[in-house]
Amino acid sequence: MNPYNEYIVISTLKGFKLLTPNKKVRIPDIKDLATASIVVRLVNQKPLGMFRLSDFEFLLCCKEVSVYMNKHGDISPFVVMEHVGKAKTVLLYGIYLVLFNIDSVEVRNVETAY
């Protein structure tokens, strides 16, 4: 069973929060030493959205980067999707992540991160 089926995701100025009637969880885990260098990139960025890619994987999108997270809340240390510009809004359309900026649109494939 996927633990995120019972949560509501809220993006705040301080990052992503998972809410249920019983508890609140912050993702990603900022104390995880294995992904500390990636989390540092996320801490000061505006979160734009969290998308379910499968029953096991999610995509966390921020202003300048997007990262993959598994269903346990662990960030993938292998793939960080660096955006070309600074996105204002983002949407997932099939396998494509569409990032909107003031003067451009960036389209990325979430399966390949390109």
What pLDDT is attached to residue 51? Answer: 94
Judged by phi (left if over 0) then psi (alpha if -120 to 50, else beta), residue 15 lies in: left
How high is the pLDDT of residue 15?
A: 78
Is 0.85 topped by the overall pTM? Answer: no
Q: Whole domain around residue 103: which residue ranges?
A: 3-109
- The answer to whether residue 37 is domain-embedded is yes
CATH of the domain at 12: 2.40.128
| Structural domains counted in the chain | 1
Helix (H, G, I), strand (E, B) or coil at 71: coil
Residue ranges in the chain modelled with pLDDT below 70: 1-5, 24-25, 29-34
Residue-by-residue DSSP string for 25-56: EEES-TT-GGGHHHHHHHHTS-EEEEEE-SSS
> Is there a domain that residue 114 lies in?
no
Angle at 64 between CA 35 and CA 60, to 5 degrees: 55
* Distance from C-alpha of 8 to C-alpha of 11, rounded to nearest angstrom: 10
